[in-house]
Structures are given as structure tokens and as C-alpha cells.
Amino acid sequence: MTRLKTLLLCGYCSLALAVAGCQEEKRSAEPPRPVRAVIAKPVALSEEVAQTGEIQATIETDLGFRIDGRVATRNVEVGMDVTKGQLLATLDPNDVQNGVRTAEAEVKRADAEEGLARSGLDRQRTLFDKHFVARARVEEAEVGWRTASARLSVAKTELQSARNKLTYTELRAPDAAIVSAVAVNAGQVVNAGQTAIKLASTHERDAIFNVSERVYTAVPSDVQVEVALLSDPGVKVIGLIRDASPTADPATRTYRVRIRLPDAPPAMTLGATVTGRLVLPGKPLIVLPASALTNEDGKPAVFVVQPSTQELVRKPVMVARYTATQALVESGLAEGDAVVTAGVSKLRPGQKVAYDAAQVAQ
């Protein structure tokens, strides 16, 4: 009985080995799987970038009074157009006018003293010529006249300063502009230099954009930017970069770029929303169908056919950007690699495949 069991067990083992051998032989005899493939070939592709921004004045000026005082009048409101020399606001001039009157009186007094000293000098010179006085008296009179003359000069300078100070009670527009902000009201006491009114010049306008680091580092300084109104794309102008922020905004991590707009259309008013378009210079990228992508450890990858063995190798790749139907690969592939483009979810590394080389080369 034991011998019979042994024989049966040996028979089962022989049968299992035979079946496994047949399966292995069947796998080794499995024909290569037909696949579609493309040959990797880097192509320099330009990229159009569109960004939304706004129109701002090239020159914005914070105006303030040059002296302390109490605001007497304010003649403008936000949004008003002003012309060069237009009166914007005034300070109470009473104290300054009193200073002017005091300086005028001081000039009159100094002028009288200078006239008296000059007459005395002339008299002493006449007496000296007739030998009635010594030369020392003449020299003493000359000193007195020079002192009085100097006092008169100082008094005139102080009067001019007082009159200038009187003009400082008036705040006038340095050029044609638009009032963009108002920070004072009548009756308010202000310090010298304190911002009272902000003006935006109407002579030149810029388009301001906040761009990502990728665009900021890729754009050359002489690039041309097409700027068009968001509300009316037909209103557009070609601009150049005026300046760019050297550091990123700490909150948004974007860079501020200012585009100069020569002869900007009147419709591009201050604060208008615009769209800026530019073409970035291309760098070598390999264009693949989106169907060619698989993944390895959660990162993009593709299957490449080894030319010597016709077996598949999975290669991780870095994708620069995507379109609706394509993936633009920046690195991970070499020129001439045969990349499988369909059915990648059913493929495995090391699998033998076959493809039409003539069709791939087309």
C-alpha cells in the first residue's frame, strides 16, 4: 500500500513538471507584441504667454506743502484732470504774510541806515580832502558804511525768503496729470513734506504685470509685448520692458514687470485691465502624444524599445508642459529613442515588442 502511494506521488510530480515545462516553453515562444512608436527628436518650440495686468502712469508724484500750516482750501477731487500750474490746495497764509511784512520793514530800516552811513562816508571824505579830519575818521566811516550795506543785503535776502515762503502756501500741479489720491481736507494741520495730493502723469503710461519666476527668467530684456485692452482686444499697442522687480513679492512669489507703452491709445486709461502677450524663445523639447505617458513611482515615464533586444525599458522623464493632446518632454530621453505611444498601461519592462521601423521614421 505504501509503495502504491509512493508511485502515485511520483506520477503527480512528473505530471506537474511536465505542465510547467510546457507553460515555460509557451511563454518563451510568445510572439513579440505589436506596438506603435515614434522616434524621439528634439524640436525648438516657441511658447506664447498671456498675462493680465493694468495700465498705470509712468510717473506718479506725491505732492506736499514745503512748510507747516493749516489747510485753508482744497480745490481738487480724485479723478480730476489738472493742468500745469493749476492751484490744488492752499495753507492759511496769515502767519507767513506777517513774516513778509516784518522782512519788508527790516529792509526799509536797513536801507535807511545804509543811506545814512553812505552820507557820513561822503562827508568825511570831503573833510579829509580839505585836511579838516584825519584819515582814520574816513576809514571809520567806511567801516560803518560797509556794515550797514551788509545789513541791507541780509535784510533783502530775508525778504526774498519770506516771499518765497508765501508761495509755499500754495500747492500747484507741476504738470498735466490726473488726481489719483487726496490725503488732506480744509482745516487739517499738516507738516512740511506730508503727502497731500497724489498725481498720475498723463504723458506716458505703462502696463504692469505680475509674472511667475519661469516667465521672469525666460524673457529677454528686449522682448516685444503686445498689450491689448481686455474689454476691446482690437485696441492694442506693442511695448518694451521698462523695468522689472529684482525680487519676488513675498506673498505671491511673482515678479512685477513694467512695460513701456509708446503712443498708447486714449482708450487705455489709467486703471484699465489689459492682456499682455509675448512669445518666449524655444528650447529643445521632444513632443510626444499624451497617450505615451505612464508613471514610475508617481512620476511621468515612457516605454522605450531597446534596439538591440527589442525589449521595453521604462524611462522616467521631465515634462516641461502639457497641451490638450501632447506632452513636451524636457529631459529623460535621448534623440533617436523609439518611444511607445499606445497601450502603455498593458505593457511591462522587459517585454519583447515589434513595430514598423519604416512607419516610425516617417
Assess whether pLDDT exceeds 80 at residue 107: yes
Q: Dump pLDDT digits (tens) for 321-339.
A: 888 888 889 888 988 899 9
Cite the residue boundaries of each domain of the chain with CATH code 2.40.50.100.
Answer: 68-90+170-200
Specify the pLDDT at position 360: 53
Specify the pLDDT at position 241: 92
- Please tell me the distance from the alpha carbon of residue 162 to that of residue 173, in angstroms, as a whole number: 22
Q: Provide the mean pLDDT of the chain.
A: 87
Fold (CATH) for 94-167: Helix Hairpins (1.10.287)
In this structure, which amino acid lies at residue 273? T
Task: Give the least confident one: 22-31, 234-243, 297-306.
Answer: 22-31
Assess whether pLDDT exceeds 50 at residue 24: no
CB distance 293 to 300 below 8 Å: yes
CATH of 49-58+203-280 among 2.40.30.170, 3.40.50.740, 2.120.10.70, 2.60.40.1760: 2.40.30.170
- Please tell me the distance from the alpha carbon of residue 212 to that of residue 254, in angstroms, as a whole number: 5
Give the up-direction half-sphere exposure of residue 293: CA atoms within 13 A in the CB hemisphere. 19
- Please tell me the distance from the alpha carbon of residue 147 to that of residue 110, in angstroms, as a whole number: 10
- The SS3 call for residue 313 is strand
Fold (CATH) for 68-90+170-200: OB fold (Dihydrolipoamide Acetyltransferase, E2P) (2.40.50)
Q: Dump pLDDT digits (tens) for 232-287.
A: 999 999 999 999 999 999 999 999 999 999 888 889 988 899 999 988 777 788 99
State which H helix or E strand residue 148 sits in: helix 135-167
CB distance 326 to 359 below 8 Å: no
Local confidence band at 30 (pLDDT 50, 70, 90 cut-offs):
low
Local confidence band at 25 (pLDDT 50, 70, 90 cut-offs):
very low
- Please tell me the distance from the alpha carbon of residue 191 to that of residue 148, in angstroms, as a whole number: 37
Q: Dump pLDDT digits (tens) for 210-228.
A: 999 888 888 888 888 999 9
In terms of pTM, does the model score above 0.75? Answer: no
Give the residues across from 69 on adjacent strands.
Answer: 190
Q: Dump pLDDT digits (tens) for 131-141.
A: 888 999 999 99
Specify the pLDDT at position 322: 85
Q: Which residue has the cell 541780509?
A: 154
Give the closest residue to 339 by CA, choosing from 358, 318, 355, 319.
355
Q: Which residue has the cell 515678479?
A: 255
Specify the pLDDT at position 27: 47
Fold (CATH) for 31-45+284-361: 2.40.420
Local confidence band at 354 (pLDDT 50, 70, 90 cut-offs):
confident
